[in-house]
Amino acid sequence: TDAFVNYQCKICNVKSNKEHVRLHAKKPFAGPIAKAKRQMDPDDYERVVKEKMKQNRKLSRDEAETDYNDFLENPYYALDKQEEYYKKLGYKDMYEGMIGEAEKEGNGDEVRERIETFQRNNKIKAACVLVVVASVYVYLKGLYDVDPTFLKQGLPNFNAR
């Protein structure tokens, strides 16, 4: 027997099924940005939700709102959606999916090279940031070890003459 058959949803106050319960289980609470957007410009919020429902006829209102709230709250929304898309196509991750789809079009080597360059450049940038942070820490630690009171009077004013 199915425990969710004829389950009374406490949120919507309707008889529900597994899919309805899963919707609420997946639906995160709207974060502060989404709440602010909804309160400050309810007409635009409503327009975007209706547009999402129109674009994808399978989306219910709750799903469209959840999707829009995720977009407002998550800075990596587009990357997450792209990753999800390529995983549905059977690829391991987004990069493999981009290369696989490009190979179907005949330009897989070009896309592979762009992705490798992108990843290499980002690794170099990350290493540089870590080196700068570590260097600043070591410098400030050295100053503190010499004179533990050096920041008590505030940062030095090099512009005063």
Task: Find, among 21, 18, 22, 17, the residue nearest to 6 by Cα.
Answer: 17
pTM here is 0.54
Which tokens hold the place of 114? 């762009």
Which tokens hold the place of 1? 């027997």
Q: Determine the average pLDDT of the residues in 127-141.
A: 96
Q: Give me the residues paired with residue 16 across strands.
A: 7
Q: Determine the average pLDDT of the residues in 152-161.
A: 72
Percent with pLDDT over 70 in the chain: 80
Residue 135, pLDDT > 90, answer yes
- The gap from C-alpha 51 to its chain's centroid, in whole angstroms, comes to 21
Residue 21, pLDDT > 60, answer no
